[in-house]
């Protein structure tokens, strides 16, 4: 539990790690692409892009065709988008987002979590078996967590986690017909912040808010970070864990985050400013 924690002002956080990781992968992919096709990705004309810029940050509805699949311009599509033949079709009502180049998803208000591979989620250990734990990650089935899916864990040297503990983990297997699997290690087999979360408080929120918290330009976390130090871990399954110096602060932070869901950024800043006197007293 080192770099999951965001001691504000934020230096290293979960989302940034992941974004960096994806960017790295993408950079590699780009290099390979350049070598193969010799067409630099950065100079793509908007008309030729799989999803045009005009569609981004716009309200989209299920069934809408937002783009087309192009073999020489690979993109990644996230929740709310699906590929049907060569078309990219919206499956959820919401706002189309592109946080980083070539990565698209639909941001919407949804409470139910559907696991997707590589999602960072917060789970609760519900059962312990010889070789694995059962973890509730808020989806229709319980996920499996192998006892070996921790950094440095072996059959002889394994972690003992109590029932009811909260863990920050990564979805390693997500298939609609199978139980999901989670792991407390990154793709590089390092813990990188995954693992048990001690103390603090966890609350549930809409998936949309969880995604908002994971964005770099999250107004509520930035403004809260200016007034009070705290740790946060946001799971893509709509669970957020908060820890701070005092219980009263944790309650205030929790409610500030929940209330910020439907607020524009300037109002969020005003709300946090109003709260700041409570943090100091």
Partner 1 sequence: MSKAILKSEGIVSLNESKFITEGLRENLRVDGRRPHDMRRLNINFDSGVTGHVEVQLGGTRVLTSVRADIVEPFPERPTEGFFHFNVEFSPMADPNFEQGKQSDQFIELGRVVERGLRESRAIDSEALCIIASEKVWSVRCDIHILDHVGNLTDCASIATIAALMHFRRPSTTVTGSQVTVHPPGEKEPVPLSIHHFPVCITFGFFEENGVTVLDPHLKEELIMDGQMTLTLNSHREICSIQKAGGTAVSMETLSQCLRIAAVKVLSSTYSSVLLYQVEEITGIIQKALEEDAAKRRKLRS
Give residues in contact with partner 1 (CB under 8 A).
111-112, 124, 126-127, 136, 138, 140, 162-166, 197-203, 241, 247-248, 250-252, 254-255
86, 183 contact by CB (below 8 A): no
254, 202 contact by CB (below 8 A): no
**Closest separation in Å from C-beta 182 to partner 1:** 15
Of 139 and 147, which has the nearer Cβ to partner 1?
A: 139
Of 186 and 260, which has the nearer Cβ to partner 1?
A: 260
Looking at the chain, the number of H-run helices and the number of E-run strands are: 5, 16
**Tokens standing for residue 90:** 């919206």
**Closest separation in Å from C-beta 188 to partner 1:** 28
Q: Which DSSP state fits 71?
A: T
**Closest separation in Å from C-beta 258 to partner 1:** 9
Residue 187 CB partners (closer than 8 Å, separation 6+): 21
Of 104 and 168, which has the nearer Cβ to partner 1?
A: 168
Give the residue carrying structure tokens 């509805």.
61
**Closest separation in Å from C-beta 22 to partner 1:** 29
Cross-strand bridge partners of residue 234: 240
Of 51 and 227, which has the nearer Cβ to partner 1?
A: 227
Of 158 and 204, which has the nearer Cβ to partner 1?
A: 204
Give the residue carrying structure tokens 């290293």.
12
**Closest separation in Å from C-beta 267 to partner 1:** 19
For residue 58, with 0-12 CB atoms within 10 Å meaning exposed, 13-18 middle and 19 or more buried, which class applies?
exposed
């Amino acid at each position: 539990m080192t770099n999951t924690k965001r001691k504000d002002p934020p230096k290293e956080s979960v989302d940034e790690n992941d974004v960096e990781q994806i960017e790295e992968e993408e950079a590699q992919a780009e290099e390979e692409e350049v070598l193969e096709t010799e067409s630099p990705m950065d100079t793509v004309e908007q008309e030729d892009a799989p999803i045009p810029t005009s569609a981004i940050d716009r309200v989209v509805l299920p069934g809408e065709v937002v783009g087309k699949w192009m073999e020489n311009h690979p993109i990644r599509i996230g929740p709310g988008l699906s590929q049907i033949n060569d078309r990219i079709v919206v499956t959820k009502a919401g706002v189309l987002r592109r946080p980083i180049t070539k990565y698209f998803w639909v941001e919407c208000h949804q409470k139910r979590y559907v696991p997707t591979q590589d999602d960072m989620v917060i789970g609760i250990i519900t059962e312990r078996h010889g070789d694995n734990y059962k973890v509730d990650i808020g989806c229709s089935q319980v996920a499996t967590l192998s006892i070996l899916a921790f950094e440095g864990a072996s059959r002889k040297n394994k972690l003992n986690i109590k029932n009811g503990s909260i863990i920050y983990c990564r979805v390693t297997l997500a298939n609609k017909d199978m139980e999901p699997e989670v792991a407390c290690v990154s793709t590089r087999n390092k813990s990188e912040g995954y693992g048990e979360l001690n103390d603090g408080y966890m609350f549930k929120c809409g998936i949309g808010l969880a995604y908002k918290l994971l964005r770099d330009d999250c107004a509520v976390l930035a403004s809260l970070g200016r007034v009070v130090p705290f740790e946060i871990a946001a799971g893509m399954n709509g669970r957020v864990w908060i820890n701070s110096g005092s219980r009263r602060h944790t309650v205030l932070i929790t409610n500030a985050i929940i209330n910020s869901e439907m607020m524009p950024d300037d109002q969020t800043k005003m709300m946090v400013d109003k709260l700041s006197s409570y943090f100091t007293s």
